[in-house]
Structure 1
Amino acid sequence: MKHPVDVHVGKRIRHRRWMNGTTQQQLAEKVGIKFQQIQKYETGMNRVSASRLWDIAHALGVPVSFFFEGMDMAEPEAKPGDMPGDVMADREALELLRSYYAIPEQQRRRLFDLARVLSDAA
């Protein structure tokens, strides 16, 4: 049975890897393991040892604490219109975020203002 902490850490590994544009194979090579092991970490099927988490953090350019951020937050009951509890695990949301930051700053600000107006109208 998967432990919630292992699942959370795995999601954070996947999130950071994806935001860096790093493949499972590339991360595995940096850490010195097979990509299948990265898959198992990301799904929470296998626990990540402290030393391996240290290596992964170094390879992804984050402190080890990054992987535990958000663990102590209680999940509030969802209401219609609320964002999903783990929006950073949603591939579409991550693609949108990555695309958003690829837009030049002035245009990005205009897009942000448009999105705010549209959400207020909904």
Structure 2
Amino acid sequence: MKKDEVPQDKSALGKVTKEVVYATDSKGNYTTELSTGWDVKATALDVAWQDVEARVANARRQVQDGKASPILFFMEYRLMDVPTLAAYTGFWQWQVKRHLKPDVFKKLSESKLQKYAEALNIKLADFDTLTIYES
């Protein structure tokens, strides 16, 4: 793609960042150019975020229905999986999976809950309210 043909379409990340892409200059040499976005990429990103929002909503429903612990909701919201959350908390993966069960979660000590709260960047009280504070 030529330098003057680099897409400058509006995207979700356009206000936050620009992307470096490779293009050819007038002499045919490769060079870098900044792009604010590309429609195809923006559409793909929007679809991915819709999937994330659906997963978070599903996790919230599972917690409210008593089928999962609040850890699942915050884990989905923070885009974490069991191995990642285990690494952040220092728990074994099997322990995290077990703590996703509401009956087990209710019996967790405050120190274990605090580890989860720190890893998920929330307050302990947020486990009860499923409240998210943006910073």
TM-score (norm 1): 0.46
Higher helix share: 1
Higher relative contact order (Cα pairs below 8 Å, separated by 6+ residues): 1
TM-score (norm 2): 0.42
Higher strand share: 2
